[in-house]
Structure 1
């Protein structure tokens, strides 16, 4: 049903500026959003992925641009943010969806008042983490209340005419769970992901997911007004969480109090920073590094030439 002019103006006027945590898969977005969402006055909305695909749900990749932010799409997404805010007592929304790394300009066009907190991580650590997810991740178990509610919420926020776009993915996930098979795809769907899945090794696909997300997100961030975004290095945040969460709160105009920072110090740690060095094989690094090296070097993770794989 179309929104009235009064309803649209109400949404535009009353929605508190959301805080959008953005970063590629396994880059620290879950940690950041969940910790920040515990601050007084804030609430975390965890991966309402179908919401951000409204208007282009039938597209193969999750990439979107300003051109996709048509008026009706903007109204619909903003309305859902306002609904979530109101259903949680008017708390300001902290939202995170990793595919938004492919569509930051689109996201900003929808929510120009939002504060974007972008986080990135050493691609080799992300590779190790995501390979682990392929081994252990299971799709939603609709017998579990929390999983069922999440699926129902996605149905509710998705226009009915876009439901068929997700039918194949839902059936695949359900059949894999019933048959005890591992997940077939995990993470963002970058442009060309289907061809990559057919022609590349899984290690190469994951490496490309990491690199492509940053190739899109970094220049799009820099095209936005400087006061609208903050760019963070995961390793810095977990090494000195007190300092960086204070900076995040300052940027987002949040004053959570010292109890929040006590919680930060207890929950955020740097224990897994270098696990990739022990767990990735030379063969895996040999497949990943030709794809990752340019971005790793750009971000300062590499200073020396990479030795050729033996």
Structure 2
């Protein structure tokens, strides 16, 4: 089996729509859902004293590669596989150590919109981590106790935000996920790393995915071109409704303004203007 394509990015940064588009390519296989149980079983909070769901190069073992490939082969057979599991944005060096020829597609989004969408997802309740990790080892009382467990993924430094506001906890998730991805980029060969802006999914989806598919050596068929032409109008399997630019101003505007100092430096590093 060839080494997989790993789609990585902060949750609610457009990872699902990108994953579903890549998975529609001829010859590409996917399980169609995230696999935190697989990656936790190989290395996760149970192995690192609940430090986080992150993993580094030193955590990689040959038997982890064998177990992951066996898991995927049993479900999908031999072939090129694309994986999208939100915790893997915290684990790029680990994955690269296991799969030296893997390609990584990194997607990022304006921090204000991404943090707001994370906040909406926390309130939704479907993405609570207790279903995968069990109860946390210490009290979580985010937003004055409204949230008793973390949602989406457990970032390094999570304990420092167990009594923070929801906006602060989500801002920490966004900054940590993107910082770790950018740090990991230095260790990945240039031809194995593809970077995407979420905003380009809305502004130029056909041209964007034509470029992405070319970099991944995947065929960009007429059917895929038609699919990409309507991406901005289509909900995903996880998020209802079409994407809407600047929705954060309506949903969580005041809270986002308060945490803007937390996310502004990284926004600028990613090419966004916090004052726009």
Cα displacement (A) at 1:182 = 7.3
CA contact (8 A) 1:19 1:116 kept: yes
Residues 167 and 136 (structure 1), Cα distance of their counterparts in 2 relative to 1, 3 Å cut? closer
Partner of 2:65: 74
Do the aligned partners of 2:4 and 2:103 also contact (CA within 8 Å) in 1?
yes
**1:139 & 1:102 partners in 2: Cα distance?**
17
2:182 equivalent to 1:218: yes
SS of residue matched to 1:289: helix
Matched, 1:279 2:265: no
**Structure 1 residues 1-310: aligned runs within 5 Å:** 15-45=1-31, 46-53=33-40, 54-58=42-46, 59=48, 60=50, 61-86=52-77, 90-138=78-126, 166-168=133-135, 184-198=149-163, 200-269=164-233, 271-282=243-254, 284-302=255-273, 304=275
The 1:69/1:239 distance shift into structure 2, 3 A limit, reads same
Q: Once the 2 structures are TM-superposed, how far is the Cα of residue 81 of structure 1 from its aligned partner?
A: 2.7
Which is greater in Rg? 1
* TM-score of the superposed pair, with normalisation by structure 1: 0.74
| Deviation for aligned residue 1:291 | 1.0
Unaligned 5+ runs, structure 2: 137-145, 234-241
Show the counterpart of 1:3. none
Q: Deviation per CA, 1:63-90, whole angstroms, max 9, x where unpaired?
A: 110000022222212322333331xxx4
Give the Cα separation in 1 of the matches to 2:43 and 2:176.
Answer: 23
Distance 2:125 2:172 in 1: 20
CA contact (8 A) 1:122 1:296 kept: yes
Q: Name stretches of at least 5 consecutive residues in structure 1 with no aligned partner.
A: 1-14, 141-150, 152-164, 170-180
| Shift in alpha-carbon separation, 1:246–1:67, aligned structure 2, 3 A | same
**SS of alignment partner, residue 281 of structure 1:** helix
Question: What is the CA RMSD across the aligned residues, in angstroms?
Answer: 2.4
Deviation of the 1:254 alpha carbon? 0.8
Separation in 2 of the partners of 1:26 and 1:183? 21
Comparing 261-270 and 126-135, the one that deviates more:
261-270
Match of 1:280, SS?
helix
Q: Give SS of 1:73's match.
A: helix
CA apart distance, 1:39: 1.9
TM-score w.r.t. structure 2 length? 0.83
Distance 1:123 1:197 in 2: 21
